[in-house]
Structure 1
C-alpha cells in the first residue's frame, strides 16, 4: 500500500490531496478515459475497488495482467497498489510505444495471494501454473476505458493502443462506434452435422460479394461473428475497395477439448470440411446465385497451425493461407510449458511437426501463398514461427512474414486478419 503522495502528480494536480478517491475525482478520470499515458512508453492504470477502502473491502491484491507483458510463470506478477484510506488502486508500467494489446485486472482475496498459496503447496512450477489458472477467470475489464470491452477467452479485458502502434484498417472506425453491427438477417446460419467427426455445430456464412468470389474459411468462427465487429469491418473495407468482395464461412470450435483435437493437424477434420461442410455450403451459395472462385483458410494460434496444415495437405483446394501466431511447437506440447526452464528444446524444430516435414521435403509448399505473423511479445512462438517462415521460403512458397509489436492476443489478430486478407485478396487479376 502507498500513501497519496506516491501517486503521480498527473493524477492529483486538479484536486487537493484529500479528494483522491472521491466521487468527483473518479468522474473526472472516467471522462478522460484510461489507461493514462505519462510518456510515450509509460502508462498509468487505475482500478476502483467496488467494496471501498481497505477497511471495508476483502480485496487484498489486484494483478495487472497485460497480455504477453505480465509474466504468467512467476509467483510475483505485476500488481497494482492501494492508496491508503481510499478505493484507489494504481500501477505504472513501461511498455513499448508501438505496442497494441489487451489488459485486465484480477482482484484477489487474502486466501488467493500467491505467497499464501505457495506456502500451502510445494511451490513447484506446476503449482504456480495451477494457481494462475485458478485466478485467471476472475479477470475484469477496465471500466474507465472508453473502448469496447474485449472477450479474451478467460473473461473480459480492455484495449491498450500505445501512441506509435500501427494503424488498424477499419477497426478504429468500429471502436469509435462509426460502423453499424451487421444484422442477423444478413448472416446465414446453418447446422453442420458431421458423421465423420461425430459432432455438430452452427456455422455462419456472410457475403460481401455477389456471384463468384473467394471463400474465406475463418477457424474459431465464434470469435469473428457480428458481435465482435469483424463482419462490420470486412463490409466497410469492401465498400471502401480496400478488400476484394468475398464469401466468409465462420467455422466455430465446439469446446476446448474438441478444438485441441480438430485443429492439431487432424486430417479427419479437414476431410470432413472437404466432403461434408463445403458441399453443403456450395448448395447454400447456389440458392443466391453465388459460387466460389478460390479458397483462403485463416486461423490463429492452433488455428494458425491448422490453416497451414490444410494448405500443405490439400494443395488442390487450399492455396492461400493466413496463419496468425501459429502454434508451430506442435506436436511437442512440452515446448509450450517447459521452454523457459529448458532452452535446449529450442535448438531444433519440433519432431514430427510441419516445419520438420517441410525441411525434410515430406511436404511441399511451392503452391502456397501465405500471410504469416507473430507478436514480438510471444517469446518462443517467435522462434517457431521464424523457423516455419524459413522452411516455407526454402520450399518456394510465396510467403509474407510480419512480426508485430504485440502478444498472443485477439486484439492483435483482428488487424492481422484484415492485413492478411488485404495481402492475399488484392486485385482480381492477381488472384
Structure 2
C-alpha cells in the first residue's frame, strides 16, 4: 500500500471504528485493496461493509457478482452516497469518483440472501488521471515527436520536406499496420496560429488538422487506397463567425489555398496560390492516357452558341461538339448531353477526351451538347429535379440541336453530369426515356430533396428522386453511376450511400445498372479521370449498348 493510500485507510478506520463492532453482528468489515477479491454468502437482510482506502478525487472501478445483492456507497458519516449495483443481475461493473465526503465504504446488502464476489480493480489518483499519449500513425512524425521531446526543433524536418514535397506518403512502419492496398497520407502545414482546416479531406469533410505539441507542425493522417488521387487545399487560421452553420462552414474559403510545399496543382497552370488545388497521386494510381490532347489525333470541332430559353426565361451558353469524323447523316452516331458544359469543356477537357477515345476506336463517332448555366444561382434551382428544366431540354434544346445536325438513336444518346448535374441526368432519364437510352451520373447529389438544406438535420428530407423511382414507371434506360470512396460523409447525406440506394432501387425495378466506386472524392479533378471509362462503356463502337452488368 502506498503512503498516500495508507493515510486514507487510517483516516477511514478512525472515522469508521464502530463498523467493526457492527460487522460482528452483520458481517465482516475490512479494507478492500486493489486486486483483491472478497466473496461469501449472506443471509437475508444481512449486511457486510468494506473500508475503501481511497482519497478525494480518486477514480475507483470494480465489479460485484451475485444475484439478489445490492452494493451501496457510503460516506464518512455512513450516509448513502449512491447505489452502485441494484441487485438485478448476476454480474455488474461499477465506477465512481471519491468526493469530499470521503473516505468511502462499500456496503453489500442481501435482501433475500445469496452469494457475492466483490473486486476493486483500479484506484487511480487524480494526479494520474491523464489520457495516454497519442501514438502517431506516421513514422516520420513519430521521429519528429521524439526529437522535440529531447529538446530539438522542427527546422531540419521542414528543410527535408522543402526538398521532398508534401504531403507525406508512407507505406512502411505505420501504426497500426496498413492493409496491403493502402497508403498513409499525412497533410502538413507550418506555422498557423489558431487552426488549419483541410479542404477536400479524404473523410469527405473539411477536417481540422492537429497540432504536434506546441510546435509549428499541423498535421492530419489518412489511410487511403494506394490507387487514389487526391486534390485538396489547406486553410490556415479560418475565422470563427457569429453567423449560421452554413456561413461558418463557408468561412474556410477565406483562407483556403494550395499547399506551399506541393508543386503539383489542378489546373496545372495556376499562378495564384488561392486558385485551383494541390494534387497528390499515390503509387498505384492507374494511368490516364486519354486526358491530354495529342498532336497525332484529329481534333473535333466545338462551337459556342448563345441560347435563349422561353420556358426558363433566361439565356446561356451551349457548346456543340462534333468529332472529326462525325457525319450527321450516318447511322450509329453517338450523342452525349452534358450539364455544366463549360466546366466539362474548360476544366475536364471533354473535347480532347472524346477525340482521343474516338481515334483509338474506344467509342463510336460522337457529338456532344454541352449545356452551361446562366449563373451559380440558376444552377442550384434548375438542376435539382426541376420539371421546367426537363421541359427546356426536351422541347427546346434537343430539337434545336437536331436542326444543327446533332442527333442519334435514343439507345446511343446519353444524358450526363456531375453532382447536381448527375442528379439532373437521372431525373431526365426518368422524365424522358423516349430521348435518352442511357444516364451517366458522376457523384450525383441523390441526397437532395426540396428544402433539404433549410431543414434542421434531425428533420431533413432526403433522396427525393430515389423515392420517385420507387413508385414510378421506369423506362428502358441504362444507368451508369459513379461515386467516390471519400464521399461517405453524412453531414448532409453521403453521396456514396445514396448512390448505392438508387442503384438498388433501379436493380429492383429490373433496370440495367453499372455502379463504380472510385478511390477519390467530389470534384472535377476526380471526375475527369473516370470520364473516359464511362464514355467508352456507354458509347461502344461495336453495337454493344453498354448495358451489361459489372
Instruction: Normalising by structure 2, report the TM-score.
Output: 0.59
Counterpart residue number, 1:283: 403
More helix by share: 1
Map of 1:323-342 to 2, 5 A cutoff? 323-334=441-452, 342=458
* Matching of residue 193 in structure 1 with residue 308 in structure 2: yes
Cα distance, 1:247 vs structure 2: 0.7
Tell me the equivalent position of 1:292. Answer: 408
CA distance in 2, matches of 1:251, 1:66: 26
* C-alpha deviation, 1:280, in angstroms: 2.6
Residues 324 and 374 in structure 1, CA contact (< 8 A), matched pair in contact too: yes
Please tell me whether residue 108 in structure 1 is matched to residue 237 in structure 2: yes
Q: Is residue 2:388 matched to residue 1:265?
A: no
Deviation at residue 35 of structure 1 after TM alignment: 2.9
Distance change (3 Å), C-alpha of 1:69 and 1:147: same
8 A contact 1:215–1:246 mirrored in 2? yes
Q: What pairs with 1:16-415 in structure 2 (closer than 5 Å)? A: 28-29=163-164, 33-39=165-171, 41-47=183-189, 60-69=194-203, 71-72=205-206, 77-79=208-210, 91-98=219-226, 99-108=228-237, 112=239, 114=240, 117=241, 121=242, 127-150=244-267, 156-171=276-291, 174=292, 179=294, 186-208=301-323, 209-211=325-327, 212=330, 213-285=333-405, 291-293=407-409, 294-334=412-452, 342=458, 350=463, 353-360=464-471, 362-365=472-475, 367-379=476-488, 380-415=494-529
In the aligned structure 2, how far is the partner of 1:386 from the partner of 1:156? 30
Residue by residue over 1:24-70, the C-alpha shift from the partner in whole angstroms, topping out at 9 and shown as x without a partner, is x67634xxx5433122522244557xxxxx6xxx8654322234526
Q: Is the 8 A contact 2:297 2:359 kept in 1?
A: no
Query: What number of residue pairs does the alignment pair up?
Result: 373
Contact preservation (8 Å) 1:189, 1:202: yes
Q: Is the 8 A contact 2:186 2:222 kept in 1?
A: no
In the alignment, the residues of structure 2 paired with residue 309 and residue 185 of structure 1 have an alpha-carbon distance, to the nearest angstrom, of 29
Q: Describe the shift of the 1:375–1:181 C-alpha distance in structure 2 as closer, same or farther (beyond 3 A).
A: farther
Q: Structure 1's 89 and 156: CA in aligned 2 closer, same or farther, altered over 3 A?
A: farther
In 1, are the aligned partners of 2:361 and 2:541 still within 8 Å (CA)? no
Larger relative contact order (Cα-Cα within 8 Å, sequence gap ≥ 6) = 1
Distance (whole Å) between structure 1 residues aligned to residue 445 and residue 235 of structure 2: 27
Supply the distance in 2 between the matched residues of 1:305 and 1:17 (Cα, whole angstroms). 47
- Larger relative strand fraction: 2
Q: CA 1:183 to 1:42, structure 2 compared with 1: closer, same or farther past 3 Å?
A: same
